Structure formats: C-alpha cells, structure tokens
Amino acid sequence: EIEGASCCPNQMAIQASDKDLWYTVAARNLALAEGNDVDIVSLCNGCYDTLKSVNSKLKSDPELRARINGRLEEFGLEFRGTIDVKHIIQVLHDDVGPNPIEKACKYPLGRFKFSPFVGCHVKRPMDHMGFDDPEHPFYLRDLIKATGAKVARYPQMDECCGGGFSIGSKNDVVPAARRVLHSVRDAGGAAMVVNCPYCFNQFITGEAKANSQYFEDIGVPVLYITELIGLAMGFDPSELGMHIHFDIGVGGERGLVERIRGQPVDDSALTDEVTRRQLETCKRCLACTDDCQAAMTVPQYRPEEVLDLVLEGRIDEAVARSDIWYCINCHECVQHCPQGFGMVRLWILLKNLAAERGIAPEALDHRMEELESSGFSFRPDEELRAECGLDCVPA
C-alpha cells in the first residue's frame, strides 16, 4: 500500500463535481507512488480509470500539469510522470501469464463454466486505458481459462454493472444488477467472475435486494478473479478472506467453494509438452480421429471422454480405461494435426502412468519380462537365423 494515499478519487462523483479537485487528489496519489519509485496496481476499475486517465493526461498536457503541480506544492509533492498505472488483470495476464497460473492450479475446474464480467471503466476511454480489446475483452476470459474452467458467454457480459445509477437514478440500481444476474443464470454459468470491487458489491448487494423485492432466488454466486485463481491454486478460503464474502453473499458462494475444493487435481498427465491448453484445443477439434485407425476399427474408442477426464484431473479414471490401449502409436494424428500436436503424446503418458500403477494389459507385462530376461521384447526366431547363416543371439 502507498502510505498516505487517499481515495483515487471516484470519477463519477468527484470529477462531475470539481474536475480540478479530481485531478489534484489523483495527482497527489500518483506523486506519493513516484516518491516510492513504484508503479501502481489497482484492483478496482474505477480507481484504475481515474489514476490511469489522470496519469496519461498530466503527462501529455504541460499546462494542466503545471497548474496541478502548483496545487501539490501545499503537500510538498510534485507530479513528475515517472510511473505507470496497471490493473490487476493486466498484471496477472501480461506480467505473470496464463501458463504459470495454469501450472500452479491444484483443483480441477474443467467441469465448471464461469461468466466473466469485465465492467466498463477498465475498457474505456481506450486512448487512456491502453490494454485489452474494448469491444471484445479477453484478459479476464483468459485468466478464467487458465484455471481450467470454461467460459459461459451471455448477452449482458459487456454491459455496465449499473452501480453508477446510485447518483442520478437510485431506483434503477437493483434492476440493472438483476438483469445481468438473470442473464448469467440463464447462460448456465456456475458463477459470475468480476475484476472490480465496485461491480462485486453491486452484484452481491443487488442480488440480495432483488431476491427480496421480486420474491425470487436468483442463485448466482459472485467471485472476484483473485478468489477464483486462489481457490484453483489450493488456497484455503480463509486465506483469501472469503469468510467475509460468505457473510454477505446470497448466491451460493459457500456451496460453490465446497464443490471446487471437493477433488484435488491430479495433473500427473500434464507436462511442458502436453499442456492443459493444448488438450483443450484437442477436445474442441478431434479432427485427427477421422484418419485414426483405432477410431475407425474399435467402436468403443472414445478419445473425447479420456480428454475430459484428464482435463478434470481424474487421472485414476483415465488410466484405468481400455481406450488408451487402443492407440497403436502410429503417429498419424501428429501428421494430420492442424496444431502440430497429436493425441498420441498424451496416450503414451497415460500408458506410462498405467504401467507404473500396475494396470497395464497382460501382453505388456509379458513383453517387459521378455526384455528384462533376454534383452528382446520379441525373441528372434533362432531356426530362421540359422537358416540364414546367422549366429545364435547371445542369451
């Protein structure tokens, strides 16, 4: 935290009341961060909007900068324009990266679909925000996918939360939240995932008020993105401060967390070569099965079911299936794979795990015994070798 920092301040109220005051308070916070020689990371869309916008404006407008610095003299501060302002999803996506997050996840979320809600102040105005796509934002979606979960799209996913109505039209605050929550529920999302505490509060309190006012039970849990990532990584809910969340949430947050933590993930079938993201691509494609000898010959071959088990962390079930042994390691899938991958890579890993756990077919055990005893998994035909004038193979 920045010692001595104040409210960002809120642009919906303060900017609308006194724009120079808005600039001054924001510039003071920026100057305090500059004094510590650190960039600012905001977990709030509104704070990000204010601090990023003011930082950009003061850097590009010398006249405004001089006027605001005149005001900052009262605090012994000066805005110099030496730091950047970032949003938490920008840091998680660009500085940390989805792949390291994916590798750190301990609980399987492949069976869940989550509905992202980005909010408006992190996307616009684009000339100041400088990241993500304002029309088709993908940062939050990528972070949800990094936990192994799927994304449930819904019509209102790019709208405003409606919290801003609290200034000019209070009676519309709850209906705005209700409309979005209904859209999430109807799309089958297990929860709404947000990246702004203001949006979070709007939907948490809005759901409770909507349930009371409209005599309904919407039943949509609301999670902040760091809560979701933390749960997937195996953090205890109390470490994430979720005991406070449970006290105010009415959408079923506690039950969702229990479901998430019900089964630790077994990621022993995932490597640097066989990643979760690659397997998700395979699951959507399966084009290689059109030319697969096993798929054309064995009706019981169900590669998509095995992929689901692996993506959900249910490796015990995956290696116990006979499907993995139908693959004859011909590598034709590699040749025809539009991704240059081929499911045979996963199948070999699963076969290795099955053999380690003692659940391989008898034929494999026999070949291993032959190799250990003679050096050959298929013993040469000595009579044929003699007929060809070749010496006997040493025992």
Q: Which CATH number among 3.40.50.11810, 3.30.70.260, 3.30.70.100, 3.40.50.300 corresponds to the domain 89-260?
A: 3.40.50.11810
Mean pLDDT value of segment 12-25: 86
State residue 372's pLDDT score: 77
Choose the weakest-confidence range: 107-111, 150-154, 369-373. 369-373
What is the crossing angle of helices 225-233 and 253-260, to 10°?
30
What CATH number is given for 11-83 in this structure? Answer: 1.20.1050.140
Q: Are 307 and 280 in contact (CB under 8 A)?
A: no
Give yes or no for residue 106 having a pLDDT over 90: no
User: Is residue 10 packed enough to be buried (19+ CB in 10 Å), middle (13-18) or exposed (0-12)?
Assistant: buried
Residues paired with 361 in a beta bridge = none
E-strand stretches of 208-319: 222-224
User: Domain-by-domain residue ranges, the chain?
Assistant: 11-83, 89-260, 276-360
| H or E element at residue 193 | strand 191-194
User: Does residue 97 come out as left (phi exceeding 0), alpha (psi in the -120 to 50 range) or beta?
Assistant: left
pLDDT in tens, 252-310: 998 899 888 876 656 666 777 787 778 878 877 887 777 788 888 888 888 888 888 88
Give yes or no for residue 183 having a pLDDT over 80: yes
Q: Token digits for 388?
A: 């060809």
The whole-angstrom separation of Cα 45 and Cα 197 is 8
Choose the weakest-confidence range: 38-47, 193-202, 254-263. 254-263
pLDDT in tens, 325-374: 888 888 888 887 887 788 888 888 888 888 888 887 877 777 777 777 77
DSSP assignment string, 92-124: IIIII-HHHHHHH--S--TT-EEEEE--STTT-
